[in-house]
Amino acid sequence: MNLENLISAARGDMPADCLFTNAKIINVFSREIISGHIAVADGYIVGLGDYPAKKTVDLQNRYVAPGFIDAHVHIESSMTSPAEFARAVVCRGTTSVVADPHEIANVMGTDGIDYMLAASEQLPVNVFFTMPSCVPATAMETAGAVLGPEAVRRYLNHERIVGLAEMMNFPGVIFRDAGVLEKILAARAFRKIVDGHSPGVKGKDLNAYVAASIASDHECTRAAEAMEKLRLGMYIMIREGTGAKNLDDLLPVVNAKTAHRVMWCTDDRHPHDICTQGHIDFMIRKAVTAGLDPVTAISIGTINAARYFGLNRVGAIAPGRRADLVVFSDLERPVAEEVYTGGRLAAIDGRMNPDVDFPPTLECPSTMNVQAGAVDLRIPAEANNIRVMELVPRQIVTGQRVAAARIDRGFAVSDPSRDILKIAVIERHNGTGNVGKGFVSGFGLKKGAIAGSVAHDSHNIIVVGVSDEDMMTAVRRIIEMRGGLTAACDGAVISEISLPIAGLMSDKPLETVRNRMDALTSAARNLGAIVPDPFMILSFLALPVIPELKLTDQGLFDVNRFCHVPLFIK
């Protein structure tokens, strides 16, 4: 809408396209609820009050909130294309997301970023991006691409790229790595936000991290950690994903003095949770149930993220803002009954308006460059004791311990009786032949294996299992499908989902993905898995920036010491 017409409609000199009447408007500026009308023209709010309009929509004294905003999400973690992701979350009231495409960037480099930008156009959800800062996450793994400072500079000028994505290489910041600092300086030159990622960083190291212009963190797991970061001026994104659930632990830091520095984010959330629980709306309901004021909870999920990222056209019900509206009846338990994006009805009672058009899914070239026949999962025994990764309930951090190896004919093997399973990471991008091998406890598998081409952040193939035979059965099928997730037992694949878009995303509807993921999870349970979402947890065990012990294609990696360590303790 041109500025003259916007002003004319706001003055009432020309009729609005639509007047939403009898609304209980949640004002996120004054933190109050005001009864009134909302005038919309050409997709934007032009005024609050009584206006001439071409049509009216009676909201029948229901509540109206600004469209919800996810402050940090990896769309790829939904395992659906951007269009299918948008279709799912808009039905829950999410109308804007700030996505970090570093998953696909680690596989395809700038081609992956271009893919996400193109695939997210003309959707009912506003998809903004932050430019991946750590591709690869560290030099301690083999990714499909390397994005240096020049690539970062080139993309920061894009109108939908609103900042530099989570700076996961916090040691690189603290110890002044030249390439890391160059990326931060590029973001500063473009006057764009730098998102943080600093699990457990505190004291002078945290001071150094914040001094480098890192503005936020979404990795806090304890209230004390979040409060220390708030006091240093950081914004806190409270995360409630599938693998990492931090809302309950961090909600105590949210009060009248701190709420304006807090945002909601999902980070990584699987289709089942989106379909059965929700998205940002779920976090709002959960926070309100725990005692947070509803208007505050909604403000955290709207205007806070808009202000933080400088998104001045979304996040509030006010003149000049996009008419992204969520309508619901129960303030204490907001469930989207109608969702409007740009003033148009997008969803009704959790279902898409069939009149909303979606672009077709874009094609993606194969990203599998690995020969299954060259993979050897055997581990020759070099000593009697081994390092073991330990899963931490409800978290993506891991512990580590030393355990006696089970040795069979000179090879270290899985010991399901002690819940110690073999795990391997197989490089899939460059044909290096790298295979990292180790052991993990906490999965609970009694037989079979599970595997996936989703393994943060370099997304090599990761597999855990009881026998090498089942592990290789699962891996071979992933290669045949050009990416995916599998479960295998007794030499056969018992469940699978194909992820042909970079080995990360399906080209199928979200409901199909959800059903196949449910079947995979059920198959993993039948194999003995005891973790809530075994494939999500598995996908984080190769991420060498999340403490404490991880496995990359180059071997075991101690995150706290920031170096590779041997599997065997001699």
Tell me the pLDDT tens digit for each residue of 339-367.
Answer: 999 999 999 999 999 999 898 888 898 99
First to last CA, the chain: 71
- Whether 98 and 73 have beta carbons less than 8 Å apart is answered as yes
Query: To the nearest whole percent, how much of the chain has pLDDT over 70?
Result: 100
Residue 291: band (very low, low, confident or very high) from pLDDT cuts 50, 70, 90: very high
Residue 142 reports pLDDT greater than 90: yes
Residue 138 reports pLDDT greater than 80: no
Residue 151 reports pLDDT greater than 80: yes
What is the overall mean pLDDT for the chain? 96
Top pLDDT among 63 and 559 is at: 63
Task: Determine the Cα–Cα distance for residues 477 and 480; give it in Å rounded to an integer.
Answer: 5
Residue 569: band (very low, low, confident or very high) from pLDDT cuts 50, 70, 90: very high
Task: Determine the Cα–Cα distance for residues 206 and 565; give it in Å rounded to an integer.
Answer: 26
Query: To the nearest whole percent, how much of the chain has pLDDT over 90?
Result: 91
pLDDT at 532: 84
The answer to whether the Cα torsion of 8, 10, 12, 16 is positive or negative is: positive
Instruction: Give strand pairing partners of 147.
Output: none
Mean local confidence (pLDDT), 441-466:
97
> Taking the model in full, what pTM does it have?
0.91
pLDDT at 139: 82
Task: Determine the Cα–Cα distance for residues 5 and 17; give it in Å rounded to an integer.
Answer: 12
Residue 261 reports pLDDT greater than 90: yes
SS3 helix, strand, coil % of the chain, rounded to 5?
A: 30, 30, 40
Residue type present at position 336: A
Residue 545: band (very low, low, confident or very high) from pLDDT cuts 50, 70, 90: confident
Mean local confidence (pLDDT), 397-402:
95
Residue 294 reports pLDDT greater than 80: yes
Task: Please check whether the two domains, 1-65+317-350 and 67-310, share a CATH topology.
Answer: no
Mean local confidence (pLDDT), 87-92:
97
Task: Determine the Cα–Cα distance for residues 304 and 299; give it in Å rounded to an integer.
Answer: 6
Task: Determine the Cα–Cα distance for residues 178 and 494; give it in Å rounded to an integer.
Answer: 48
Residue 71: band (very low, low, confident or very high) from pLDDT cuts 50, 70, 90: very high
pLDDT at 430: 95
Peptide bond into 182 cis (omega under 30): no
Residue 155 reports pLDDT greater than 80: yes
Q: 474 Cβ partners below 8 Å, 6+ apart?
A: 449, 450, 451, 463, 465, 486, 487, 488, 493
Residue type present at position 283: M
Task: Determine the Cα–Cα distance for residues 524 and 481; give it in Å rounded to an integer.
Answer: 19
Residue 52 reports pLDDT greater than 80: yes
Q: What is the 8-class DSSP label of residue 188?
A: H
Residue 394 reports pLDDT greater than 80: no
pLDDT at 148: 95
CATH class (in words) of the domain with range 1-65+317-350:
mainly beta
pLDDT at 546: 86
CB burial readout 522-557, b (16+ within 10 A) else e: ebbeebbbebebbbbbbbbbbbbbbbbbbbbbbbbb
Q: Can you spell out the DSSP letters for 484-523?
A: EEEEEETTEEEEEEE-TBTTTBBSS-HHHHHHHHHHHHHH
The answer to whether the Cα torsion of 241, 243, 246, 249 is positive or negative is: positive
Q: Where are the domains of the chain?
A: 1-65+317-350, 67-310, 372-569
> For the domain 67-310, what is the CATH code?
3.20.20.140
Residue among 396, 519, 411, 542 at smallest CA distance from 464: 542
Q: Environment class of residue 67 by beta-carbon count within 10 Å: exposed (0-12), middle (13-18) or buried (19+)?
A: buried
Cα–chain center distance at 61 = 35
Residue among 53, 125, 34 at smallest CA distance from 344: 125
- Whether 265 and 71 have beta carbons less than 8 Å apart is answered as yes
Mean local confidence (pLDDT), 440-463:
97
Residue among 469, 509, 505 at smallest CA distance from 489: 469
Top pLDDT among 138 and 158 is at: 158
Mean local confidence (pLDDT), 435-451:
98
Mean local confidence (pLDDT), 479-504:
98
Residue type present at position 563: C
Residue 380 reports pLDDT greater than 80: yes
SS3 call for 53 = strand
